[in-house]
């Protein structure tokens, strides 16, 4: 039962949909009608600029870290602190992706998932983040960087001997990230996916 409370607690925190709230109430821009229409930091970057995009990215990461930290202080029934964090993170990411007040249409959860990974093991989190930056720099596709780096974090948790709960939830979230990027995957196959720095719909030449 306590695990359900953790997921619900995380969901409520995750519903603080930072890209939407920042763009809507600070910059008076409805992100759903701009760029890709996605409520994520990449669309914020393309729509409102690099500084705002990076700020939103950091806030999305911190949102989950803070949620996990608070949960570990409130919910003490579970012996494994990592289990508390992983269920809270699960809820927060679901809240980010499917906020109830936006008709359950939110972001893709990559930054939020990274926040959970950082909280569980900051070395792993920073490592996959750097890997994501490298992939983005080389290939130009944020979608590819997100899917590859977050899937790799699950593999690393398994190899490091983390509990089954951590590995399974991490795997579920990495698969959710892939599912949320299904349209990106279709565009990647067609060769029409926009690279970072290019406008949506601008076709990238294949080498």
Contact between 67 and 9 (Cβ < 8 Å): yes
Radius of gyration of the chain (CA): 17
How far CA 207 is from CA of 139, 178, 191, 192, in Å, comes to 11, 25, 11, 13
Block means of pLDDT (10 residues each) for the chain, length 207 residues?
89 96 95 90 93 96 96 76 91 97 94 96 96 94 95 96 94 95 94 75 38
pLDDT (0 to 100) of residue 73: 87
How far is Cα of residue 167 from the mean position of the Cα atoms in its chain? 17
pLDDT at 207: 30
DSSP-based three-state secondary structure for 140: coil
Question: What is the pLDDT at residue 79?
Answer: 60
Dist CA 32 CA 192 (whole Å): 21
Do you know the residue count of the chain? Answer: 207
DSSP 8-state symbol, 189: H
Cβ atoms < 10 Å from Cβ of 47: 19
Report pLDDT for 75: 78
C-alpha 79/C-alpha 97 separation (Å) is 29
User: 148-151 contacts: CB < 8 A, separation 24 or more?
Assistant: 149/114, 150/110, 150/113, 150/114, 150/117, 150/174, 150/177, 151/177, 151/178
């Amino acid at each position: 039962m306590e695990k359900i409370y953790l997921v619900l607690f995380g969901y409520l925190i995750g519903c603080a949909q930072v890209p939407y709230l920042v763009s809507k109430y600070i910059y008076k821009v409805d992100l759903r009608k701009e760029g890709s229409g996605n409520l994520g930091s990449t669309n914020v970057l393309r729509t409102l600029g690099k500084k705002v995009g990076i700020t939103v990215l950091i806030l999305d990461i911190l949102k989950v870290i803070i949620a996990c930290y608070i949960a570990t202080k409130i919910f003490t029934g579970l012996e494994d602190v990592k289990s508390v964090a992983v269920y809270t993170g699960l809820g927060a990411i679901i809240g980010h992706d499917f906020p109830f007040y936006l008709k359950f249409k939110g972001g893709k959860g990559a930054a939020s998932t990274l926040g959970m990974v950082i909280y569980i093991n900051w070395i792993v989190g920073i490592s996959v983040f750097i890997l994501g930056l490298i992939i983005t720099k080389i290939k130009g596709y944020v979608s590819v960087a997100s899917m590859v780096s977050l899937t790799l974090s699950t593999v690393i948790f398994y190899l490091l001997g983390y509990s089954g709960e951590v590995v399974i939830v991490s795997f579920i979230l990495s698969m959710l990230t892939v599912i949320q990027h299904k349209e990106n995957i279709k565009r990647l196959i067609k060769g029409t996916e926009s690279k970072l720095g290019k406008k949506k719909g601008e076709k990238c030449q294949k080498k």
